[in-house]
Amino acid sequence: MSKQPNSIKRQRPLEGLRVVEFTHMVMGPTCGLVLADLGAEVIKVEPVDGDRTRHLLGSGAGFFPMFNRGKKSIAIDLHQPEGAAVARRLAASADVVTENFKPGTMKKYGLDYESLSRQNERLIYVSCKGFLPGPYEHRTALDEVVQMMGGLAYMTGRPGDPLRAGTSVNDIMGGMFGAIGALGALVQRGITGRGQEVQSALFENNVFLVGQHMMQYAITGQPAAPMPDRISAWAVYDVFTVKDGEQIFLAAVSDAQWRTFCDVLGFSDLRDRPDYATNNDRVRARPTLLALLRERLSTRSAADLAALFEQAGLPFAPIRKPEELYDDEHLRVTGGLAEVTLTDGARAGQTAQTTLLPFTMDGQRLGAGTQPPAMGRDTDALLAAVGCTPAEIAALRAAHAVA
Give the angle 356-358-363 at the CA atoms, nearest 5°.
Answer: 100
The total number of structural domains in the chain stands at: 2
Higher pLDDT, 282 or 369: 282
Same domain membership, residue 240 and residue 303: yes
The whole-number pLDDT of residue 316 equals 98
Interval 327-334 mean pLDDT: 94
Question: For residue 48, is pLDDT > 70?
Answer: yes
Question: Domain for residue 369, yes or no?
Answer: yes
Interval 234-242 mean pLDDT: 96
Pair 181, 126: CB distance under 8 Å: yes
Give the model's confidence band at 370: pLDDT under 50 very low, under 70 low, under 90 confident, else very high.
Answer: confident
Question: For residue 6, is pLDDT > 70?
Answer: no
Question: Domain for residue 330, yes or no?
Answer: no
Interval 278-294 mean pLDDT: 96
Question: Domain for residue 309, yes or no?
Answer: yes
Q: 241: exposed, middle or buried (C-beta count within 10 Å: 0-12, 13-18, 19+)?
A: middle
Give the angle 313-317-318 at the CA atoms, nearest 5°.
Answer: 135
pTM: 0.92
> How high is the mean pLDDT of the chain?
95
Question: Domain for residue 217, yes or no?
Answer: no
> Residues 201-214: pLDDT tens digits?
999 999 999 999 99
Residue 134: CA atoms inside 13 Å, Cβ hemisphere, count? 9
What is the DSSP code string of 155-185?
A: HHSBTTB----SS-HHHHHHHHHHHHHHHHH
The whole-number pLDDT of residue 229 equals 85
95 flagged as catalytic: no
Q: Which domain holds residue 295?
A: 232-322
Element (H, E) at 78: none
Question: For residue 7, is pLDDT > 90?
Answer: no
Of 90-99, 146-155, 365-374, the range with the lowest mean pLDDT is 365-374
CATH of the domain at 348: 3.40.50.10540
What is the DSSP code string of 7-50?
A: G-----TTTT-EEEEE--TTHHHHHHHHHHHTT-EEEEEE-TT-
Q: Strands 236-241, 247-252: parallel, antiparallel or unpaired by DSSP?
A: antiparallel
Question: For residue 86, is pLDDT > 90?
Answer: yes
Same domain membership, residue 285 and residue 162: no
Give the model's confidence band at 9: pLDDT under 50 very low, under 70 low, under 90 confident, else very high.
Answer: low
Give the model's confidence band at 2: pLDDT under 50 very low, under 70 low, under 90 confident, else very high.
Answer: very low
Which of these is catalytic: 51, 77, 95, 171?
Answer: 171
Cα dihedral 275, 279, 285, 290 sign: positive
Of 6-10, 92-96, 105-109, 352-356, the range with the lowest mean pLDDT is 6-10
Interval 246-274 mean pLDDT: 96
CATH of the domain at 291: 3.30.1540.10
Interval 369-382 mean pLDDT: 94
The DSSP secondary-structure symbol of 210 reads: T
Give the model's confidence band at 308: pLDDT under 50 very low, under 70 low, under 90 confident, else very high.
Answer: very high
> Residues 175-204: pLDDT tens digits?
999 999 999 999 999 999 999 999 999 999
Give the model's confidence band at 5: pLDDT under 50 very low, under 70 low, under 90 confident, else very high.
Answer: very low
Same domain membership, residue 99 and residue 193: yes
Same domain membership, residue 167 and residue 59: yes
Same domain membership, residue 159 and residue 133: yes
> Residues 11-38: pLDDT tens digits?
899 999 999 999 999 999 999 999 999 9
Question: Domain for residue 218, yes or no?
Answer: no
Percent of the chain beyond pLDDT 70? 98
Same domain membership, residue 165 and residue 45: yes
Cα dihedral 340, 341, 347, 350 sign: positive
Same domain membership, residue 139 and residue 40: yes
Interval 124-131 mean pLDDT: 98
Strand boundaries in 170-309, DSSP class E: 197-201, 236-241, 247-252
Higher pLDDT, 179 or 231: 179
The whole-number pLDDT of residue 1 equals 40
Interval 55-78 mean pLDDT: 96
Beta partners for 365? 360
